[in-house]
């Protein structure tokens, strides 16, 4: 039996519950960086490893080797008696889930049984007895789940985001949390009002009352306002740095010093404890008097869509709750 978990948070809780089998953490922040459609598993491994290395989180050869081991372990699971998928209901997890199921859908028959453990409950904070009960209550994939996952993965990796919008409506119950995850993904497109993503707007709004250390800012701008939460501290740091390391910053350290444009620094290191403040430009963005993209430009991938330059084809309309074109 192979258990695939949503990264490392659940790696220890499964064996602590006395559940047998091998464990495979699925490590990737698919909601950020390039995930282009048409790339085979080898090509996508290289693309994702380069993105993670460019973020300063680890060295490219080590990340690539980890992805290679991960994908090989998944392929070997075709010979297992059962594949058990442990995922949560947030954006981070749902993208991982549809990627895994897309891969499984391409396996030749006969395929091993696939069980899914996924509801509105976080895995990493669950007690061992609760994990044990959830395992005993696991169910097989609902009919059509593999086909739906394949469609959803193709939509997420498409260069045309209208494929995502088509699946971001009401869930059909097959994989019930994908629709909400896709709606949250669409909110990362630049706003028509000020060119900021939802995550960026929340960071600046949390600074409106005065300076905060990034550690406190992380809680105020994500954990206190998102349900479900999906960001890790490393990705949040990328967002905060992006708002500071540009031609017209929206936030700056209160002490007047610089912020390094990238790096992997665990809390409570210096980045997390130096208070940052809004700039005048940041306040103008919050008021809708300035536009982030028009001023600083954009170079960001959301799935298969590359947003670049000072004019973006796609914007998120907060009033209509819809993605709009040019």
pLDDT digits over 18-41, tens only?
A: 899 999 999 999 999 999 999 999
pTM: 0.96
Q: 10 Å Cβ neighbour count for 201?
A: 20
pLDDT at res. 165: 95
CA distance 272 to 44: 32
CA distance 206 to 227: 17
Exposure class string for 104-138: b at 16+ Cβ within 10 A, else e = bbebeeeebebbbbbeeeebeebeeeebbebbeee
pLDDT at res. 307: 96
Strand locations in 222-321 (E): 251-253, 276-278, 298-303, 305-309, 315-317
Query: What architecture (CATH level 2) is domain 198-324?
Result: Orthogonal Bundle (1.10)
Residues of the chain with CATH 1.10.10: 198-324
**Signed CA dihedral, 302, 308, 314, 319: sign only:** positive
Residues of the chain with CATH 3.40.1360.10: 2-186
CA distance 74 to 114: 12
Residue 220 sits at φ, ψ, to 5 deg, of -70, -35
Q: Which CATH code is given to the segment(s) 2-186?
A: 3.40.1360.10
Low-confidence stretches of the chain (pLDDT beneath 50): none
Bond into 228 cis (ω within 30): yes
CA distance 119 to 88: 6
């Amino acid at each position: 039996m192979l258990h695939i978990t949503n990264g490392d948070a659940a790696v220890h809780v499964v064996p602590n519950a006395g559940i047998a089998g091998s464990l495979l953490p699925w490590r990737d922040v698919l909601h950020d960086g390039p995930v282009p459609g048409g790339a085979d598993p080898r090509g996508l491994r290289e693309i994702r490893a380069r993105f993670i290395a460019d973020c300063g989180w680890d060295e490219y050869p080590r990340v690539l080797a980890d992805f290679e081991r991960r994908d090989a372990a998944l392929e070997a699971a075709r010979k297992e008696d059962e594949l058990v998928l442990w995922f949560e209901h947030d954006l981070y997890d749902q993208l991982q889930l549809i990627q895994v199921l897309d891969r499984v859908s391409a396996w030749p028959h006969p395929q091993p049984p696939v069980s899914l453990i996924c509801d509105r409950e976080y895995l990493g904070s669950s007690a061992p007895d609760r994990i044990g009960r959830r395992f005993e209550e696991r169910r097989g994939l609902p009919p059509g789940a593999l086909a739906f996952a394949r469609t959803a993965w193709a939509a997420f990796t498409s260069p045309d985001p209208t494929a995502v919008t088509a699946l971001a409506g009401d869930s059909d119950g097959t994989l019930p949390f994908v629709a909400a995850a896709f709606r949250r993904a669409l909110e990362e497109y630049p706003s028509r009002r000020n060119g900021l993503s939802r995550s960026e707007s929340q960071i600046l709004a949390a600074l409106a009352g005065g300076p905060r250390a990034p550690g406190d800012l992380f809680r105020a701008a994500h954990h206190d306002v998102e349900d479900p939460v999906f960001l890790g501290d490393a990705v949040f740091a990328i967002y905060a740095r992006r708002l500071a390391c540009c031609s017209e910053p929206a936030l700056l350290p209160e002490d007047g010093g610089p912020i390094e444009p990238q790096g992997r620094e665990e809390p409570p290191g210096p980045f997390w404890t130096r208070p940052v403040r809004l700039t005048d430009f940041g306040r103008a963005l919050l008021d809708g008097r300035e536009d982030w993209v028009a001023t600083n430009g954009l170079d960001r991938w959301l799935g298969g869509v590359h947003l670049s330059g000072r004019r973006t084809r796609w914007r998120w309309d907060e009033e209509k709750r819809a993605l709009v074109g040019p």
